[in-house]
Every structure is written in structure tokens, then in C-alpha cells.
Amino acid sequence: MADTNSDEFQIQVTARALVTKGEDLLLVSNDGLIWYTPGGRLQPEESLHDCIRREVHEETGLQVKAGDLVHVFEYWEAKHHRHKVECYFLAQLEAGELDQDWADLDGPVEQMRFFTPEEVQAEQHIYPEFLKRGQWRDGTEIYMGVER
């Protein structure tokens, strides 16, 4: 448990998409150095699946359909006084192609690409770490506990 006053912390729920093309995984980046899955904060009265559709489109221009929940990642961002819960869903690509000229409609995403499983394992700066272990693909562990 964090050693701060819980009244100071904001709880944020995020829906993130595991969009695949064959075995390749879509990742996005602000700067080309750190890579992560597309997704973002849940808005009031929005379902997790609707959040994924909206966020993936905003960040990449792609249309996806959210599927099964395969991982929950929970952690505290003490620096920003946030308790974050990230829900990772499989997502099926329905329409669109990656266009590097696409501008994120509501955020900092500047780059996007599909990574092969080998590239995911080799890339040092892919977050969260469970992506590198490939555990999301077999669906064996949905909740891993609090990441510290």
C-alpha cells in the first residue's frame, strides 16, 4: 500500500488495446524511444470497449473492435498522485492502414508501428513489461497484482 494519504490520490481507469496483425502487435510512441499500446482514460458514462474504439482511432486513425479482457495492470504514480488501473483487451482491426502522417487527435502519439514478437522481446523500452513476456497472448494471467 502506498504511504500517502488516499484522499490525495486520483483513481484513473484506462482501456488499452492489443491490436494485432497476424502475430505482430501495434505499439505507439510519443518520441520513438518508449513504446506502449494505444489506449487512454475512460470517460464518464463510457464503456471500456467504447473507450478502446475511441482512443485507438484518435491515436492511429484505425477502426478496431474490442474483444476479451486479457490483462489488468495496476500501479501507483506517486509523483502525479494517481492510482492507475489499466485494462488490456484484445482488439480486432476492422478498417484502416497505418499512416505516419496521422496526427493524434487528442494527445502526444507521434509514431505507430506493428512489432513482430521478436522485436517486442528485443526492444528495451516497451511498457508495461508483461508485453515483452508475451503473456497476454495465451490469456493465462489476467490480474498480476500491484506493480511496484
The CATH class, in words, for 12-147 is alpha beta
Say what the pLDDT of residue 77 is. Answer: 85
pTM of the model: 0.85
Instruction: Give residue 139's pLDDT.
Output: 60
* Percent helix / strand / coil, the chain, rounded to 5: 20, 45, 35
| pLDDT one digit per residue (tens) for the chain, 148 residues | 445 455 677 999 999 999 999 889 999 999 888 999 999 999 999 999 999 999 999 999 999 999 999 888 888 888 889 899 999 999 999 998 888 878 777 778 888 999 998 999 888 899 888 888 776 666 666 766 666 5
24 close to 112: Cβ distance less than 8 angstroms: no
List the domain boundaries for the chain. Answer: 12-147
Question: Residue 128 gets which letter from DSSP?
Answer: S
Query: What is the enclosing helix (H) or strand (E) of 10?
Result: strand 10-21
